[in-house]
Homo-oligomer: A and B are copies of this chain.
Amino acid sequence: MRSVTKDNITEVFAAYFGDDTDPRTRELLIALAQHVHDFCRETNLTHDEWRKGLEFLEWAGRITSPERNEFVLLSDVLGMSSLVDMQHSVDGATSSSVLGPFHVSNPPPLAVGGDMKRDFEGEVLLVEGTVRDMDGNPIPHAKIDIWQTAPNGMYSSQDPDQDLHSFHGLMTADADGRYAFTTVRPVSYTVPDDGPVGEILRAAGRHPWRPSHLHYIVSSPGYRTLVTEVFPDDDPYLDQDTVFGVRDDLVMHYVPQPAGSFPDGFALSGQVTEAYSRVDFDLVLAPEET
């Protein structure tokens, strides 16, 4: 179309499509153009602002590496990652939440009742629960991939003082769907804010903090894989997670337990004499989409 105008450019964009293009690709690209165009029109975006936006993307490209993905982080702080999570969550199942960049591909096995705390400082946290279907029935032998920060706020991949597998574990729930382990309470931490995403956070007057959380990926044949997190209900950043990951059903009370009450059946049984905390977090899986 020769007479492209600011009012018809979205239609012109749509008219450029070939006839036998994939309908979903077409839908996504036209919706993308529509929202990009509407954004420009609504804000009357200037050349300088446009250039600045492109420079941000270039900067994000330059600092993205196999260890750090600034585009994922951008999606996270804009709430896009959480929104995609939420719109594919199933009512009645545990809410999903952001995966984040710190999952490792080959976590070490962790037995039911096993320990991830090892020699790290801090109070013992006992985490346990049952993997269930949406009718409340236990799902036996689900795989649960678990990871968290060390007490210093760093994941093993960020921290030269931890071995790569510390605070990562892959558990197989038992025949009754039960999982359980000991660890130390993960701490609140900041997302990397020395790149363009940090600039955005500062420009918005926002902090880079996430509340304390344990990450889970739960999978079992016949069920949707659940990527989620659990948060303690006393974290100061719970109401302003910078990546929008908190959902009501993922906030749990970590219950203080008196000294001398540590139960049997754990790798640490007989070794924990002081006070500890305990959190119960059931994982409810939705059936696989058919």
Contacts and interface: CB of A to CB of B under 8 A. Distances in A.
Main secondary structure of the interface of A (DSSP, over half): helix
Interface stretch (A33-41, A165-173, A269-277): A33-41
Interface in A1-31: 1-6, 9-10, 12-13, 16-22, 25-29, 31
Interface string A197-211: 000100111100000
A87 interface: yes
Contacts of A38: 35
Interface in A120-172: none
Interface residues of A, number: 78
A50 B31 contact: no
A32 B39 contact: yes
B54 A72 contact: yes
A29 B204 contact: yes
A177 B46 CA distance: 29
Given A31-B42, A81-B50, A26 B204 contact: yes
B79 A17 contact: no
A33 B10 CA distance: 20
Contacts of A280: none
A52 to B, nearest CB: 9
A247 B4 contact: yes
A176 interface: no
Given A57-B71, A244-B4, A200 B29 contact: yes
Contacts of A238: 2
A84 to B, nearest CB: 5
7 contacts: A2-B238, A4-B86, A12-B79, A18-B206, A22-B203, A40-B80, A61-B71
Interface of A: 1-6, 9-10, 12-13, 16-22, 25-29, 31-33, 35-47, 49-50, 54, 57-58, 60-62, 64, 69, 71-72, 75, 78-88, 200, 203-206, 238-242, 244-248, 251
